[in-house]
Amino acid sequence: MGTYIYLSILPNQISRAEWEQVYEESLTLLNAFPFAQIEKRDYFGFQVPVYTRAKELTEKDRYWRISGDLQSKQFAESFKLYRDLDKYKTNRKEEISDILLGDEYNAVSVFDSKTQGLNYHLYILAIAMLIESRFPKAALVSGDIDYLQCVKAKQWADQYLSSPIELPVRVHVDSLLNRINDKNELDQIAAIEKWLIADAEDKFRLIYERFSREAFVTWFCNHLKTYSSPNMVGAVKLFTYYLNLTNDIDGLINMACKTETGPKYLASDLIRAIAGTWICLPPEKFSFMDVFGKVPGHPHIVERQLGTAMLDMMFTGREIKTYIPVEEVAKKFKTHFPELSSNIDTLLQGELERIEQKLSLFHFRIAHVLQLAEQNTDGKTYMADEDAFLYYDGDSVALTEAQELKIKMVAYAINRFFTDVNADLFKKVLYMQPIEYLKRAFAGYVYEKQNLVLTEEAWQRVVEIDDIHVMRVILAKLIIDDISETDDHKVESDFRKAMLENKKIIEKIIAYIDDEQAMNKVESFIDKN
């Protein structure tokens, strides 16, 4: 699982001169945003990998490579583009003239990497869109993208290019259907399902609004038949999307239970499934879950993908956008299934009570997340730990009490380390060696022990440190992490990165170390817990 951007091409359908021209355009976009690449640089006698401004590389071949961006100081996998089209040539025979009409064996991959939804995602997408736009039948963009992401990427790229780019065919339904050129409604629907990149509900809406009722019912019933039970997650989602559009309980009952070409589910099973859409739940019962909603036009980070999958399994009706009182839903079912009249209310109420219990427990468990979201209304931005420490500026980006406590705990650990008799060997290094020796020790730790890649800016900041106390604090944190046994490796790694990339975090740590009252409070907190 991850957040990807893909770009495939048919190299035999592209001329060398045209490819070189588009490559030059890509350099324009490369220079328009602070993309980052990894280079080896010499610091304090160590050849260390460093994030630097991405540029065209010309040692042997002409190409560029991007691994993140210096604006956000966040990095994921690398994307590379060669100027020489021959780098993508294969021995395969390309017997197709439109990449949409082929398969994976016809096309050659240019981009096939994870952005993990980080800041550079939209800008890499813009470059991929440039290539598809210039070779519309010989290049294809796909991945974890959507229509609004592509609109944003186009708006950015068009500022710098001499001619505008187009939206990828796979996010634009009209362009897609024109390319497919199939008159049969069900075949068009199949093409949308296969090729269109959009949220499941957006696809559902398109199919419902764009095609005849007959075609929709046929497609919907066939889709339902792929689920052996109406209570499976996929089926409940289809019911949810239909109800969001129509509020049509009667039509849903007919298609799910009565239509000859439908799945003919048991009425009792469908009753539970309809309750599972949450359509009978007053919206205030689950409005707190809005904090987990997808933000249109923003890529999913991988942690959110995992969270979304878990939420879909736990709370299948969380995408409901409409409300029908339970009495009205019960009345509809009693009209269609009078033989079940005595059980319908019991079935509906039983399911609703079960859902409400799960929601109540979940609400309790995520209280800290909701608190963080609520805090963002006070004019300051509060973030999850990794981002909060990296971007904290003391003004617009603030820290929660828990995050402030984390910094105090780090300061306390360093303070104890400085006074710990068991650390005398380390202290001899810290207190008896000159600052340049400490900087070299720092470089060694980063390179050999911590496997930490920093930006050029962070390294330059270390070069310029002239206060040996600051250097001792930094090195002490690295030593503590190296000798400590903790299960929170990622948490500590994220904090180390933030400490070195954001000078305000180091300033806070030192201020707390020098604050006897703060250190005493931390000690008291530790004793109590």
Residue 375 belongs to some domain of the structure: no
Calpha distance 177→511 (Å, rounded): 62
**192 domain-assigned:** no
Residue 487 has pLDDT above 60, yes or no: no
Higher-confidence residue of 254 and 312: namely 254
Nearest-angstrom CA–CA distance, 474 and 183: 67
Residue 74: strand pairing partners: 69
Residue 284 has pLDDT above 60, yes or no: yes
In degrees, rounded to 5, the angle at the alpha carbon of residue 386 between the alpha carbons of residues 381 and 388 is 25
**Cβ burial, residue 390 (10 Å; 0-12/13-18/19+):** buried
- pLDDT of residue 180 exceeding 50, the answer is yes
219 and 148 co-located in one domain: no
Beta bridge mates, 40:
49
Question: What is the spatial order of strands in the sheet that 46-53 belongs to?
Answer: 74-82, 63-69, 35-43, 46-53, 454-455
Q: Are 5 and 124 in contact (CB under 8 A)?
A: yes
Q: Distance (Å, rounded) from C-alpha 529 to C-alpha 526?
A: 5
Calpha distance 146→203 (Å, rounded): 12
Identify whether residues 330 and 413 lie together within a single domain: no
Token pair listed for 278: 């949450």
Assigned token pair, 301: 């980070």
Q: In terms of DSSP bridges, do strands 454-455 and 46-53 run parallel, antiparallel, or are they unpaired?
A: parallel
**Does residue 446 sit within a domain?**
yes
Which residue is it, tokens 């269609």?
336
Q: Which amino acid is it at 13?
A: Q
Helix (H, G, I), strand (E, B) or coil at 456: helix
Whose CA is closest to 388, among 372, 374, 377? 372
- Counting Cβ atoms within 10 Å, is residue 36 exposed (0-12), middle (13-18) or buried (19+)? buried
Residue 220 is predicted with a pLDDT of 97
Residues 404 and 441 in one domain: yes
Task: Choose the weakest-confidence range: 334-348, 355-369, 513-527.
Answer: 355-369
b/e 94-125 (16+ beta carbons within 10 angstroms → b): bebeebbebeeebbbebbebbbbbbbbbbbbb
When pLDDT is averaged across residues 156-180 and rounded to a whole number, the result is 96
**Model pLDDT, residue 376:** 57
Does residue 328 share a domain with residue 429?
Answer: no
Closest by alpha carbon to 506, among 474, 482, 462?
A: 474
Mapping DSSP onto H, E and C, the string for 3-48 reads CEEEEEECHHHCCHHHHHHHHHHHHHHHCCCCEEEEEEEEECCEEE
Tokens of 144: 């974890």
Q: For the chain, how many structural domains are there in total?
A: 3
Portion of the chain with pLDDT greater than 70, in percent: 90
Is the domain of 15 the same as that of 163?
yes
CA 369 to the chain's CA centroid: 17
State both tokens at 229.
């039970």
* Distant-in-sequence contacts of 99-104, Cβ < 8 A, 24+ apart: 99/8, 99/9, 99/10, 99/137, 99/138, 99/139, 99/140, 100/137, 100/140, 100/169, 100/179, 100/180, 100/195, 102/10, 104/8
State in Å, rounded, how far the first CA of the chain is from the last one.
Answer: 37
- Clarify whether residues 284 and 391 are in a common domain: no
Per the DSSP assignment, residues forming a β-bridge with 79 are 66
Neighbours of 425 (CB within 10 A): 7
Judge whether residue 369 has pLDDT over 70: no
Specify if 378 maps to a domain: no
Domain stop point among 115, 148, 168:
168
Mean pLDDT of 401-417: 93
Cβ-contact 273, 239 below 8 angstroms: yes
Residue 57 lies in a domain: yes
Predicted confidence band of residue 306 (pLDDT cuts 50, 70, 90): very low
Interval 260-271 mean pLDDT: 96
Tokens, residue 309 = 């999958």
Do residues 292 and 392 share a domain?
no
Q: Tell me: the pLDDT tens digits for 213-253?
A: 999 999 999 999 999 999 999 999 999 999 999 999 999 99
Whether 82 is covered by a domain: the verdict is yes
Helix (H, G, I), strand (E, B) or coil at 263: coil
The last residue of a domain, from among 129, 147, 168: 168
> CA distances (Å), 526 to each of 406, 408, 417, 496, in order?
12, 11, 16, 22
For the stretch 82-85, contacts whose Cβ atoms lie closer than 8 Å and that sit 24 or more positions apart, written own/partner, are 82/23, 83/19, 83/20, 83/23, 85/11, 85/14, 85/16, 85/19, 85/20
471/347 same-domain check:
no
Whether the pLDDT of residue 449 is over 90: the answer is no
What integer best gives the mean pLDDT of the chain?
Answer: 90
175 in a domain, yes or no? Answer: no
What is the CB-side half-sphere exposure of residue 106 using CA atoms within 13 A? 17
pLDDT at 490 over 90: no
Q: Same domain for 204 and 346? A: yes
Residue 6 has which token pair? 């893909």
Residue 379 lies in a domain: no
Helix 267-276 to helix 233-246 angle, to the nearest 10 degrees?
70
Rounded to the nearest 10 degrees, what angle do helices 367-375 and 341-365 cross at?
Answer: 70
Higher pLDDT, residue 485 or 209: 209
Residues 409 and 294 in one domain: no
Q: Does residue 312 register a pLDDT over 70?
A: no
What's the count of helices (H) and strands (E) in the chain, helices before strands? Answer: 23, 10
Residue 426 shares a structural domain with residue 354: no
Name the residue range of residue 328's domain. Answer: 199-365
Q: Are residues 97 and 246 in the same domain?
A: no
- Looking at the chain, how many residues does it have? 529
Q: What is the pLDDT, as a whole number, of residue 303?
A: 45
> Mean pLDDT across the stretch 288-312?
62
Residue 287 pLDDT more than 60?
yes
Query: Which one of 332, 365, 398 terminates a domain?
Result: 365
- Per-residue model confidence (pLDDT) at position 231: 95
Sole residue written with tokens 């290049």: 139
pLDDT at res. 427: 74
